[in-house]
Structure 1
Amino acid sequence: MDTWKQMMDWKRMAEDYFGDQFFTPNQGQRAEARNESPLCNIYETPQEICCVLALPGLNRTDDVEVMVDPYKLTIQGKLSLTLDSYRLNSEEFQLGEFQREVTLPVRVLLDPVQAFYRKGLLFIRLLKDTRPGANQRKVNLNWVQE
């Protein structure tokens, strides 16, 4: 058995046990190496993040749902493609129901978010949260008497 495959199987088991994103994906690592679908590229400017997901076979905007939190996007939906009188012989892109969580490289604002679909690609534009202290949280210290 391939050592890389064994390691990725162990990683998936750990994430199933400990929760999503127990390990942070390596930046620049290709999605098929992580066995994630749909494929996603992340682009950024000093002010915004743009996530581009490959969604061939999306029939309507109602077939996909995008949820955003300050550090993560969740995209779920259903992709379908039927060719009358043909049967599927080989499949390289995933069809059917999917869910993909994308860890964002920086904190983003929850509003405004723009999303549009063009030529088989879903574009999601998010503004970076550049407020001073936006990436920090004060922790309250409790005094414990001995």
Structure 2
Amino acid sequence: MDTWKQMMDWKRMAEEYFGDQFFTPNQNQRSTNNQNNESPLCNIYDTPQEICCVLALPGLNRTEDVEVMVDPFKLTVQGKLSLTLDSYHLSSEEFQLGAFHREIHLPERVLQEPVQAFYRKGLLFIRLLKDTRPGANQRKVNLNWVQE
């Protein structure tokens, strides 16, 4: 039997079983930071001095609907997204609406102040300064002497 035909039959059966397209185009282009299909999606950009996180937040209505918290190696963004169109009902949903919570592990240590955040055209931009102080990534460990 033709190997290609067997593979296509298997693909068709998998799609019927899972109820969706089993092999999606560009499925390997997701960031390793987003393996669990977390939402909202986030891109991270950096320069020698700063890190900029850009999150896709369509449906953010007010600044009070989102909260941003910064740790030296982690950014946490949580809130609520909503989008309603009068006289329409939702028949297909591809981006998440409702409550969200996203933790983003940063590639380098950042300062917790100052932080700039602004929202424009459905995107939340968060600019963080890298902590470039000498020894900022090191912690001194206290050594306890044990007598035998």
Indicate how the Cα distance of structure 1 residues 43 and 70 shifts in structure 2: closer, same or farther if over 3 A, else same: same
With normalisation by structure 2, the TM-score equals 0.78
**Residue 143 of structure 1 aligns with which residue?**
145
Moved >2 Å (runs of 4+): 27-31
- For 2:114, the equivalent position in structure 1 comes to 112
Cα 1:30–1:112 shift into 2, 3 Å = closer
Partners in 1 of 2:51 and 2:32 — Cα distance? 18
Q: What percent identity do the matched residue pairs reach?
A: 82
Aligned to 1:19: none
SS at match of 1:34: coil
Question: Aligned pairs, how many?
Answer: 120
Unpaired stretches in structure 1, ≥5 consecutive residues: 3-26
Q: Which residue of 1 aligns with 2:132?
A: 130
Instruction: Give the whole-Å Cα distance in 1 for the aligned partners of 2:109 and 2:60.
Output: 28
Supply the distance in 1 between the matched residues of 2:96 and 2:61 (Cα, whole angstroms). 15
Give the corresponding residue for 1:28: 31
Where do 1:23-102 residues align within 5 Å?
28-29=31-32, 31=34, 33-102=35-104
Q: TM-score, normalised by structure 1?
A: 0.79
Structure 2: gaps spanning 5 or more residues = 1-13, 15-29
Q: Which has the larger radius of gyration?
A: 2
